[in-house]
Each structure stands twice: as C-alpha cells, then as structure tokens.
Amino acid sequence: MTIRADYPARDAVRYTTPMVDDPNAQPASERTHRSSWSGSWASLRDLEVFRAVIEQGGISSAARSLGVSQPAVSRTISQIEEKSARSLFRRDGVQVVPTTEALQLYEASAKVFSALADLQDLRWLDDSEERLGIVTAPTLAHCWLPETVTSFRARYPDVRVTIDIQSSMDVIRTVATGVVDVGIAEVPQGDFGVDARAFRRSSLVVAVRPDHRWATKTVIGSAEFGSEPMVALVQRNPLRAVLDRVLWRSGSPPNIVMETSDTITAMEYVSSGQGVAVVNPFPVILDSRFDLRFIPLDPVLEYETSIFTTANRPMRSVAKRFIEHLLETQPDSVPISERL
C-alpha cells in the first residue's frame, strides 16, 4: 500500500475574535476554525497510531508495526476524525491519502514525540553531581562563552554544564521561569521580573570590510549612511528599534539590503561584501574569524551586557561560583567596550 500527500488549494482567513456586539464581526463561516486542545479528542496512543499510518504508508502496515489489528487502527483514526471534526485521510482505492489537516497534525505532533524520545536518553544525575544551567544569546554563546565555560570547568571539573541558546528576550523569559541558573544577554534596561547585573558596557560600532571606503575613518556619523547598503538585525531585536530611530532622525533612513536575527550572521555577510552593519562590539571583537574594522558611531549609543538570575529565589552555590568566575575572567576594557 502506498501513500501520497494531498494539498488541496484553500485560503485560510486570519482573524481575531470580535466582540459579541461588533457589527463588523466576520460570519462564522468565514473564520479560521481553531480547536482548543484539552486532550479530549486524542490521547498520546491515538497520535502514535495516527503517525504510524503516515509513516508506514497505510492502515495495514501501521497495524503490523504497532502489533495491533487493522480494525483497531481504523477505529482509532475514525475516532480522532470524529472528535476533532477533521477529515485526516482520503481513501483512493488501495491508497490512503493524508489531507492537509493530517499533515498539519503530523508536523505539530512531531515536537511531542521528539520530546518523549529524548526521555529515553535521560541521564539521571547522582545527588553529588553539580549542575549548572545557562541560557544565552547566539553571539555570546559562540564568540565568548566557550572560553569562559572551559576555564570554569578547569577549576570545577565535576560541574555538568548545560547551555541553551535563545534570542535575547527569550533569555529573560527563560530565566524568569526558574528552569536555568544564569542568563546572559544584551537587552535594554527594563523591569522584566528577574534580577539583573550589568557587567559590560559597550558603544555601538559600524562594522566594515578593510577595503571599504569608511575603513580609515575614526568615527561615522548617523547622517553619513545615506544609500549605503546595510545589513541589519531583524525588527524584533531591541537594538534595531534604537538604531532605526537614530538614523531616521538624522535624515538618513537606512538602506537595508539584508536582515538577520543575530550579530554573527550579520558579520559574515559584512565580510562577504553585502554591506555595513551597526553592532554591539562585545563580543564579536574577540572573534578572530572576522577581518573587519569596527568604527565608533556618532551619536554614541551604549549597550549593556548583563547577567540575569531568577528573582525571589536563593541562588545556588554553583551559580554564584560561575558568576564570580565570569566577572573575574571577562576581557579587559577597551575604548569601545569596558568592564563594569
């Protein structure tokens, strides 16, 4: 039995639920239907059966792989379709063709089964083993943190370190949940419900190639950008909003030719000649991979790199030792980036 994907043409209407008395509310028939998940229309076992049908190519093959009867598989699929009010498979002769809804459910449920698979490899820790959970942003994780963690583990070899890489704002959210010990990120000052300690202050710089016409400048004014091709961070990045305001106020709106979510990628595209970029120099100035010039921006825009910990919770000893080590071993101050 074979299986093939079926992608019928359909237009989904995106909407926000209107007020009951809203005269402009869309008719129910024109809204995108969203099922609220309560676990009532499919158990994990049901989803396992459903996924087996897609992966094995049909009802009979799925039944053999699961060690159950073919009617049992058919019954499970029928129950899911009935409870979810969705048609998951279209019967076409001997073929079972998954619908768009089936492919959507298959993709969404993959995360659940991937997490369950990880549990099989779970390594239970001894009570005597120390663990340190760190969450940080991509640029810090790749350009500076490896050396810091390596030297820390040289002093404390029995500590098991887990490093999670997320966007700067997601670092704050993760720390707030209490699932990690330490967060390190570059975010504007604000009340994020976590404890923060700034340890580095840097002035934004313009990154250019050595052969760029600005490479010999000692400072670059915001009004000079004009039509200069620019590699920018995506709009959700806090730095992007600050920079856009400065450039627009100077009468020199940015000529953005590329956008990226992290500074490392921006540096790679600057190196390849795609344009210039305004970045926080810490820690990219430490990365020998980039043969670039970092020229101060006028006006001076300062950015702080901070350590974040969960508020209203005692800090574990291993986290305190790591923070002390980080502060002791961070790079010396330079004109565009100083220790605090």
Confidence of residue 39 (pLDDT cuts 50, 70, 90): low
Provide the percentage of residues in the chain whose pLDDT is more than 70. Answer: 84
Q: Are strands 205-208 and 277-279 parallel, antiparallel or unpaired?
A: antiparallel
Q: How many CA atoms lie within 13 A of 25 on its CB side?
A: 10
pLDDT at residue number 1: 37
**What pLDDT, on a 0 to 100 scale, did the predictor assign at position 147?**
95
In this predicted model, what pLDDT tens digit does every residue of 303-330 receive, in sequence order?
A: 899 999 999 888 999 999 999 999 999 9
User: Can you give the pLDDT at residue 264?
Assistant: 92
Query: pLDDT value at position 126?
Result: 55
**332 vs 313, more confident:** 332
- For the cut 90, the answer to whether the pLDDT of residue 175 exceeds it is yes
**Contact present, 172 and 179 (Cβ < 8 Å):** no
Q: What's residue 38's pLDDT?
A: 47
Per-residue pLDDT at 93 exceeds 80: no
Token pair recorded at residue 340:
């605090």
User: What confidence score (pLDDT) does residue 25 get?
Assistant: 41
Residue 75 has pLDDT above 50, yes or no: yes
**pLDDT beyond 50 at 12:** no
Residue 15, pLDDT > 80, answer no
- Please give the pLDDT value at position 125: 52
Quick: pLDDT tens for 136-162. 999 999 999 999 999 999 999 999 999
What's the rounded mean pLDDT across residues 243-248?
88
Do residues 89 and 56 make contact, with C-beta atoms less than 8 angstroms apart? no
Contacts of 297 (CB under 8 A, 6+ apart): 203, 204, 205, 206, 219, 220, 222, 278
Is the pLDDT at 241 greater than 90, yes or no?
no
Question: Which pLDDT tens digit goes with each residue over 179-238?
Answer: 999 999 987 666 678 999 999 999 999 999 999 999 999 999 999 998 899 999 998 887
pLDDT score, position 323 = 97
Q: Exposed, middle or buried by CB within 10 Å (0-12, 13-18, 19+), for 133? A: buried
Give mean pLDDT, residues 60-64: 90
